[in-house]
Amino acid sequence: MRDLVRFVKDIAAPPYLRVKSTFTFDIGGDWRDSVFLSSGARTGSTWVAELINYNNEYRFMYEPSLSRPLLPRNHAQTTFDRRILYIRPEDDDADLREQALQVLDGRFHDSRTDRYNRRLFSRRRLVKEVTSNLFIRWLACSFPGLPIILLLRHPMPTVRSRAYEYFQADAVGRRLLDMDPAARTREYLRLVFGQTDLVKDHLEPMRDVLESAQTVWEQRIAVWCVQNYVPLRQFQPGTIHLAFYENFCVDPQSELRRLFGFLGRPVDDAALDRIRIPSQSMQHGGVTQMPDGWEVVSRWRKKVSDEEMESGLRILRAFGLDQVYSAEPMPDIGAAYALLGRAAG
């Protein structure tokens, strides 16, 4: 019976989601009525987005760039993984800006993007992305007044959680993790050095440490560093809100108050009650109750070997990110904010 129910859901879901998206009416029309939540994959961003939207105030737009990828005109479509797509803050590509604007002002509709939305009529939007860390500074410059949140999670549990799915299949359909080490490393180097502007603006001083990453673990840690090092360098204090997954788990009241203060919203009992409810994506995976917060943020330490810990910290140290995340589970918020604004633009 369970298999039959799952089969019926699989058949019925696509047409239902298409109709649901079609009849989602967005009547806002101003990008300043949107909130942009940016993170990497496997950081708890869906759960955090639903905490922000605990009272269903926003139309929840789930990862629109995966439904309609942004691509600047000066990038070759096949040269890099879009999950570290870099757009220079001063890029004036009118078509690119219009594509982003269609999301931020609510004109964009897609069954995948609207899958978790629970509003029929909306004036405000919450856009959640996992491929945007390296172009949120461009968004901030192109759309002044857009509130942007950068969500961080400790790299070691993050890259463990990404597992096989982090690396896309190559052209002949093989997973990169199934390739021989030399071929996998070539793909990794193509990923981190495949964008000339990104290398010139941020990564050239890190070339040695990036090239030194040989194992799958080291290469994932290095990519996590790129994903977070770049936006931290680009934003000045006060122009972006830094949120931390671990704090939502362990000290949710304080973390929500910081976040809602940035958004100019109060924190009430309903918001705090929402913390105990798993995200919709977690519920679809069978999770019915949020586990203990400290257990969630610390259990990775039992699974990471001493060798992995040492090599991971070596790479973090090269980027200065060991000041934020170390061998301990909890982040140093002050250190993260101290990293803001290390690059101009």
Tell me, letter by letter, the H, E, C secondary structure of 163-222. Answer: HHHHCCECCCCCEHHHCCHHHHHHHHHHHHHCCHHHHHHHHHHHHHHHHHCCCHHHHHHH
pLDDT at 12: 55
Q: Measure Cα distances from 150 to 5, 37, 129, 227, 336 in Å.
A: 38, 6, 10, 11, 11
Task: Look at the block and give the residue holding tokens 């959680």.
Answer: 161
Tell me the range of 11-15, 119-123, 256-260, 263-267 where mean pLDDT is highest. Answer: 256-260
- Evaluate whether 14 touches 105 at the Cβ level (below 8 Å): no
CA distance 158 to 40: 9
pLDDT digits (tens, 9 = 90+) for 32-62: 999 999 999 889 999 999 999 989 999 999 9
Q: What are the pLDDT digits (tens) for 257-295?
A: 999 999 998 887 777 776 666 655 555 555 556 668 899
> What is the residue extent of each domain of the chain?
2-166+235-299+328-338
pLDDT of 252 reads 87
Query: Residue 74 belongs to what H/E stretch?
Result: none
Query: Which residue type does 263 have?
Result: L
Higher pLDDT, 345 or 59: 59
Q: Looking at the domain that runs over 2-166+235-299+328-338, which CATH code has it been given?
A: 3.40.50
Report the pLDDT averaged over residues 231-250: 96
Nearest-5° Cα angle at 260, 155 to 107: 85
> Where is 312: in which H helix or E strand?
helix 306-319
